[in-house]
Structure 1
Amino acid sequence: MRPAANQKKLGEELRRLRVERGLTVEAASTRVGWDKSKLSRLETNKTLIGKQHVDALAEALGLTSAMRLRLDRLLGVETGESGIWWGRYQDVLSPQYEELILLESQAASIEVAAMLIPGLMQAPGYAQATLLQSAFVPDPEDAEMLLDVRRQRQQVVTAGAVSLLATLSESVLLNAFCGRVALQRQLQYLLDLGQLPNVSLRIVPYDAPGAAFTGTVTLLDPQPDAGATVAYVEYEGGSQLLSDPRTIKRYRRNLAYFGQAACSEAESRRMISERLEDS
């Protein structure tokens, strides 16, 4: 992407972030200590945007680390973060998705409850089917890049960088929307993941009392003294990152209730193995 195109996209991104926070040009300018015409010129690409402008606005708008990294990349600034592998995919990643990837990479533990197999645990065929049947089907070229992103996200689990506690509905063992062969490979992948010392996988049977659960909820707990827990909530047609303490407490309680209905890890492994043999 040419520098001029970067500048245009950067201005558009600054405007989007301001509007997303419900701020007028005047209100945002006041926070930074600028004349409102200055911010207007930056957003409309009439004034060259520099690192000092981005830093000032990031502070005033309360931007997250992932958002700042995104802006720095548009500026062409070297962040010094060699682990930020997803920078090359920025054209197909939403700011929220980048934030999720950053949170996963910095988490000490991840707890997830789901009616579908979550992205961190998906085998390639299952991941492709999930992506192409989503509410927002991407272009073929974008789909391939998003599949690459999903595969690389999984490395925090397979490399043992994070503890993963997954509680899944029995329906994930039976739902063959991805095709018979892809489901077989997915079931085997779940068995393989369950062998990792940092992964705990349990299944909630259909007939378990009080086990109602919809969608997917993921709690990302940070390293000690590295911030607060964030919830990633997925539902039909969208998703959200939530950090309100009361909301986190409620979701943690819901996951605990769901987990109480789950089988042991050994019994869950037996259920997956039997389903694989029958498929």
Structure 2
Amino acid sequence: MPTIPLVPTVRRRRLGDMVRAFRTEAGMSAEAAARAMGWDPGKLSRIEHAKAQLQPKDVPLLLARYGVTDLATVNALVALAKDAGKTGWWQTYSGVVAPSYVDLIALESDAEAIREWSPLLVPGLLQTAAYARETIAAHALTRTPEEVHALAEVRIARQSVLTTRPGASPLRYTAIISEAVLHQRFASRPETMRDQTRRLIEQTDVPGITIQVMPLNATPHPGGAGGFSLFEFAHPMPDVVQVENLKGTTYAEGTEDMRLFDDGFGRIIGAALSTDDSLALLKKMEKRNRS
């Protein structure tokens, strides 16, 4: 029976990238490191490229070859190795969820904090079921009604990270939403935006959630280049930037990328309304939508 290729999940890719970075820093070739572990010469290369699994028990031994003995670092990579191939609730929707979407769900599950600039839609983690169905149906032109329903279910299920994180600290979530989004209308279901605005107001009371609105008369800011999300992780895991564009969803790691987007997000916050003024605007919009 042929061997089924290993799926390079985002966790496995992150583990491989970190292992390769430590090896490079130690000045060892992949072949030399593999020999030191008693492995086939190509095994470590496959691990580093997320095409083979790194067993948790081998993590401390491999890191020791690279001179990495910091207990927090070792434990973090052991935990990542344990979770690298783990599947979650989203497996039920494997027929409609693209690999990049699975990556997003895993990042949301593992992150300590998420910061998001959303110029076109209410962020998925804050959407109502009705808003999710309407917007997915409008954008997913090739999807069947059944697939649209499934994708909406996935979007709502993702929101559990805001309140339920077994064994982890509560997620810190910050969303900056363009005011233009709040003016969106759903002709066939006018109550959709009213209920969505009400949901945003309710979410401002949830510990760890911060919502701010970018006013229509805001000064120019880096957010004009498009939306993005920042995922922050416990040391030593590198933080991740998610950017969506016409080519799809892309992810970037590394100090330079994070520094650029972190600075950009700071400038976006500086141009947005304060949390109090944002709440006041949301309440005004909700009241208007009731009339």
User: Could you tell me the TM-score, scaled by structure 2's length?
Assistant: 0.67
CA distance, structure 2, for counterparts of residue 269 and residue 258 of structure 1? 17
- The answer to whether residue 180 in structure 2 is matched with residue 171 in structure 1 is yes
Percent of aligned pairs with the same residue? 23
- The answer to whether residue 248 in structure 2 is matched with residue 249 in structure 1 is no
- The answer to whether residue 132 in structure 2 is matched with residue 144 in structure 1 is no
1:236 to 1:81, Cα distance in 2 relative to 1, 3 A: closer
CA distance, structure 2, for counterparts of residue 240 and residue 87 of structure 1? 21
CA distance, structure 1, for counterparts of residue 84 and residue 7 of structure 2? 22
1:198 alignment counterpart: 208
Contact map agreement 2:126 2:200 (CA 8 A) in 1: yes
What is the CA distance between 1:134 and its match in structure 2? 1.5
CA distance, structure 2, for counterparts of residue 231 and residue 102 of structure 1? 14
Question: Where does the alignment leave 5 or more consecutive residues of structure 1 unmatched?
Answer: 15-30, 33-54, 66-77
Contact map agreement 1:135 1:236 (CA 8 A) in 2: no
1:89 alignment counterpart: 93
1:191 to 1:236, Cα distance in 2 relative to 1, 3 A: farther
Q: In structure 2, the residue corresponding to 1:200 is in which secondary structure?
A: strand
2:74 alignment counterpart: none
- The answer to whether residue 200 in structure 2 is matched with residue 186 in structure 1 is no
Contact map agreement 1:215 1:236 (CA 8 A) in 2: no
Q: In structure 2, the residue corresponding to 1:252 is in which secondary structure?
A: helix
CA distance, structure 2, for counterparts of residue 238 and residue 245 of structure 1? 23
1:239 alignment counterpart: 249
Contact map agreement 2:238 2:254 (CA 8 A) in 1: no
Higher mean C-alpha displacement, 240-249 vs 150-159: 240-249
- The answer to whether residue 136 in structure 2 is matched with residue 124 in structure 1 is no
Q: In structure 2, the residue corresponding to 1:154 is in which secondary structure?
A: helix
Q: In structure 1, the residue corresponding to 2:132 is in which secondary structure?
A: helix
- The answer to whether residue 163 in structure 2 is matched with residue 158 in structure 1 is yes
**Mapping for residues 206-225 of structure 1, pairs under 5 Å:** 206-211=216-221, 212-225=223-236
Contact map agreement 1:92 1:145 (CA 8 A) in 2: yes
Question: Where does the alignment leave 5 or more consecutive residues of structure 2 unmatched?
Answer: 9-29, 32-42, 54-81
User: Could you tell me the TM-score, scaled by structure 1's length?
Assistant: 0.70
CA distance, structure 2, for counterparts of residue 82 and residue 243 of structure 1? 22
Contact map agreement 1:135 1:237 (CA 8 A) in 2: no
1:62 alignment counterpart: 50
1:134 to 1:244, Cα distance in 2 relative to 1, 3 A: farther
What is the CA distance between 1:12 and its match in structure 2? 10
For 1:129, the aligned partner's letter is E
CA distance, structure 1, for counterparts of residue 46 and residue 144 of structure 2? 31
Contact map agreement 2:125 2:158 (CA 8 A) in 1: yes
CA distance, structure 2, for counterparts of residue 267 and residue 137 of structure 1? 40
- The answer to whether residue 117 in structure 2 is matched with residue 108 in structure 1 is no
CA distance, structure 2, for counterparts of residue 64 and residue 223 of structure 1? 25
**Mapping for residues 37-76 of structure 1, pairs under 5 Å:** 59-62=47-50
What is the CA distance between 1:135 and its match in structure 2? 5.2
**Mapping for residues 1-80 of structure 1, pairs under 5 Å:** 10-11=4-5, 59-62=47-50
1:188 to 1:155, Cα distance in 2 relative to 1, 3 A: same
What is the CA distance between 1:223 and its match in structure 2? 2.4
What is the CA distance between 1:156 and its match in structure 2? 0.5
Higher mean C-alpha displacement, 215-224 vs 171-180: 171-180
What is the CA distance between 1:248 and its match in structure 2? 2.1
For 1:168, the aligned partner's letter is I
1:21 alignment counterpart: none
For 2:191, the aligned partner's letter is V
CA distance, structure 2, for counterparts of residue 257 and residue 123 of structure 1? 29
What is the CA distance between 1:106 and its match in structure 2? 0.7
1:60 to 1:106, Cα distance in 2 relative to 1, 3 A: closer
2:64 alignment counterpart: none
CA distance, structure 2, for counterparts of residue 79 and residue 245 of structure 1? 24
CA distance, structure 2, for counterparts of residue 188 and residue 252 of structure 1? 29
Q: In structure 2, the residue corresponding to 1:263 is in which secondary structure?
A: coil
